[in-house]
Amino acid sequence: MKGYWSRQGKINRKQKGLLLIAFVLTAAALITGLTVAKYVHQWESDPALASTKEFYFTSDLLKEPEEKASYELYSWGDGIKIKLQNFEDQKRFSEIDIAFKITSNDLNGSANGNIEIEKNTDNTGKITGSAANAQTIIVKPDGGAKSVTVTAESTSPYKKTLTASFTLKDTTEPRFQVIDSAGKAAAEMIIKGSSTTQTFTLSWNSAQMAPDRTNPLLTFDKNSESGGGTTSSATITIPASGSCSILLFKKEPVADYSVKEQDIVNNRISLEIFE
C-alpha cells in the first residue's frame, strides 16, 4: 500500500505540473492574441498606417505618364477644365487628405498658361479625404500657344504623377455639323473655325426651326424675316481656331435635322435641305 500511495502521489504531482504548463501556455496565447488584435485594429483604424492600395489620385483627363494621354482641341476657349479626384469609385476612396501641385508647360518645358485652383493662387491644392471628392482645375494657355502639357503631382501622403498633352487642331477649312434626334425639342449646330477669323452666313427654313435668339454670336437679318418667305438668315463670326454651339429650336420635335460634319463652302451654311 505504501508503494501504491507513493506512486499515486508522484502521478498527482506530475499532473499538477502539466496543468501549470497548460495554464501558462494558455495565458501566453491569450496575451499574444490580444496584442495582435490590438495591432490589427490600430493598422486598420490609423490612416497614417494605411497601405498604398487605399490611396487614390485620379483624373478625368490626366493619366499616368506611361499612358501618354493626349487630346486635340479646336480652341482653348475658357480654358482646359480638369478634374482631380481621390477615388476610383464611390466605394473606393482615400481616407486622408491629398495635397497636390499643378504645372503647365509648353513644348520647350517652359511654364505656359494661367492655372486656377479653387481658393488657391500658387498652383497647389488639396482634396479632402474620408469621402469621394474632386477638385476642378482650369488651365488657360497663353495667347499663341499651340500645345501645353499639364501635370498634376500629389505631394502627400504619397507621390503620384498624372499628365496629359493638349494640342490645338490645325483646321485648314471651317466645318459644321448638326446633332439631333427625333423627339428632341432642339437640335445643336456646332461650327468649327479655321486658322483665320471668318464670318459665315447661316440660312434656315423658319417653318421648320429657329436658332436661339439669345445667342450673342448671331446677328439676325431683319430683311429676310420681314420678306414674307420661309427663308431666314443670320451671320456669325468665328475667331481663328475657335468653335461655337448654337441651339436650333424645332417646330416639330418628331423631326430629325441631323447633318454629318462637313466643310463650310463659300462661307455659307444652309439648313434649307430638309423636305
**pLDDT exceeds cutoff 80 at 22:** no
Question: How many Å apart are CA 109 and CA 32, to the nearest integer?
Answer: 57
pLDDT digits (tens, 9 = 90+) for 79-101: 899 999 999 888 899 999 999 99
The class (CATH top level) of 53-168 is mainly beta
**pLDDT exceeds cutoff 90 at 241:** no
**pLDDT exceeds cutoff 90 at 66:** yes
Mean pLDDT over residues 248-271, rounded?
Answer: 93
Question: How many Å apart are CA 257 and CA 232, to the nearest integer?
Answer: 17
Mean pLDDT over residues 193-211, rounded?
Answer: 91
Beta strands in 128-258 (DSSP E): 134-140, 147-156, 160-168, 175-179, 186-192, 198-205, 209-211, 218-220, 231-238, 243-250
Residue 164, number of CB atoms within 10 A of its CB: 21
Give Cβ neighbours of residue 254 (< 8 Å, ≥ 6 apart): 182, 183
Q: Which helix (H) or strand (E) holds 170?
A: none
| Predicted pLDDT at 60 | 92
Residue written as cell 505618364? 65
Residue written as cell 501622403? 157
Question: How many Å apart are CA 104 and CA 98, to the nearest integer?
Answer: 20
Mean pLDDT over residues 10-31, rounded?
Answer: 54
pTM over 0.75: no
Residue written as cell 499574444? 32
Q: Do β-strands 243-250 and 209-211 pair in parallel, antiparallel, or remain unpaired?
A: antiparallel
pLDDT digits (tens, 9 = 90+) for 146-197: 899 999 999 999 999 999 999 987 666 889 999 999 999 999 999 988 878 8
Question: How many Å apart are CA 188 and CA 186, to the nearest integer?
Answer: 7
> Could you say which architecture CATH assigns to the domain 175-271?
Sandwich (2.60)
